[in-house]
Amino acid sequence: MRAMVLSEVKKPLALMEIPIPQPTDYEVLIKISACGVCRTDLHVVDGELPSPNLPLIPGHQIVGRIVEKGAQVKSFKVGDRVGVPWLGGSCTHCSYCLSGHENLCDLAIYTGYQRQGGYAEYCVADFRFIFPIPAAFPDLEAAPLLCAGLIGYRALRMTEEAKKIGFFGFGGSAHLMIQVVKYRKGEVFAFTRPGDKKAQEFALSLGAKWAGASTEMPPEKLDAAIVFASVGELVPQALKSVRKGGIVVCAGIHMTDIPSFPYRILWEERVLRSVANLTRKDGEEFLQLAPKIPIHTHIKAYPLENANEALDDFRGGRLEGSAVLVIEESYG
């Protein structure tokens, strides 16, 4: 099969011909049709996440069809269309797993990081950690739901009952979550890189109440803010933007250092917290909700062999919405 392989961090991926993997008893073999490109992929490639399993095929927003399954796979059949997310497995029996916090399991493994991912024509996945894809979404449009959607949804859940929510960074996750907020009759205030009028116009076109630079204060105090951008300097700014008792959620798996800030902007019972990975419950809930809204994913498609270009466009902030690799041309 063809695959884009990372052999050394901070180096471009290389297109290689490698053997098709074989599924074990609890795995399925998936013929991939599309794979989303995520900021986490960029963190892996750029060496910002430690100890990737090199040589590595990145990618964890995988959509495809099962072509073979292991002996213990009972809940899926050959031909089923499925999605493979970031969380590729956990121990299932530690205190975190048993309490519904499998995203914090010490033995969790992650797709496109510890196990081979979706920048390829085939992959294997643990059937217990994959999802059926709602029929309403074609393959390319479904791919971003599996991380930009799921991590964004988990972050949004952590804002509790917030109605006025700030999004710091308006890309893959934010352009999906604004649709959820509007569906719930809330309001979004979009913060972008200073001078990025294109991103601000994109946010306003999706229904943001206000859009401006991340250095600006919103026109009114917010109930909560989600920091989607991996820029630690935005955290104090987000804290300043929320009301007393407001919540700031850091949604990324990696962030640059947060600078010191005065206690007064955290005081008055403001809350600062992070999101770590996702759970299967997040996936089940979000993939049931997405067709009801219905969510529309804004994508830019790239051929598999152009994965480095997609990553570079992500790195340079040149994307509106999400980037998706087209693995098989006849996607549905």
- Residue by residue, pLDDT tens for the chain (332 residues) are 999 999 999 999 999 999 999 999 999 999 999 999 999 999 999 999 999 999 999 999 999 999 999 999 999 999 999 999 999 999 999 999 999 999 999 999 999 999 999 999 999 999 999 999 999 999 999 999 999 999 999 999 999 999 999 999 999 999 999 999 999 999 999 999 999 999 999 999 999 999 999 999 999 999 999 999 999 999 999 999 999 999 999 998 999 999 999 999 999 999 999 999 999 999 999 999 999 999 999 999 999 999 999 999 999 888 888 999 999 754 44
How far apart CA 264 and CA 13 sit, in angstroms, is: 46
All CATH 3.90.180.10 domain ranges in the chain, comma separated = 2-146+278-326
Q: Is 288 exposed, middle or buried (0-12, 13-18, 19+ CB in 10 A)?
A: exposed
All CATH 3.40.50.720 domain ranges in the chain, comma separated = 159-274
Q: Residue 237: in which H helix or E strand, if any?
A: helix 234-241
Quick one: tokens of 21?
């993997």
Q: Is 268 exposed, middle or buried (0-12, 13-18, 19+ CB in 10 A)?
A: exposed
Q: Phi, psi at residue 242, to the nearest 5°?
A: -100, 155
Quick one: tokens of 110?
């992650």
How far apart CA 38 and CA 94 sit, in angstroms, is: 29
Which residue in the block uniquely carries the two structure tokens 């399991």? 105
**What's this model's pTM, rounded to 2 decimal places?**
0.94
Q: Phi, psi at residue 201, to the nearest 5°?
A: -65, -35
Q: Which fold has domain 159-274?
A: Rossmann fold (3.40.50)
The helix/strand/coil state of 44 is helix
Among 321, 29, 59, 329, CA closest to 178: 321
CATH number for 2-146+278-326 (one of 3.30.1480.10, 3.60.110.10, 3.40.630.30, 3.90.180.10): it is 3.90.180.10
Spatial neighbors of 12 by CB under 8 A, at least 6 apart, are: 308
Q: Where does the chain show beta strands of DSSP type E?
A: 2-5, 14-17, 27-37, 62-69, 81-84, 87-89, 109-110, 122-126, 131-132, 164-168, 187-192, 210-213, 222-227, 242-250, 271-274, 299-303, 322-326
